[in-house]
Amino acid sequence: MFMLALILVGVIGWQRHNKIMLALAGVGVLGCLVLLVLLVFVLIPAM
């Protein structure tokens, strides 16, 4: 849900050529991906 909102912000920023919105969306998506990778590598071996 949160990633969808970030992607939407990125699309709006891209259409308006707003680099700040694009940067925020990019950082947010990267952060979500990093969290997912950490969850996969930390939680699954712990189980």
Domain spans of the chain?
2-46
- Per DSSP, the three-state class of 17 is coil
Mean pLDDT, residues 27-38 taken together: 87
Greater model confidence, 29 or 47: 29
- Which sign, positive or negative, has the C-alpha torsion 23, 32, 5, 14? positive
pTM score of the predicted model: 0.56
Mean pLDDT, residues 4-8 taken together: 81
CB distance 33 to 6 below 8 Å: no
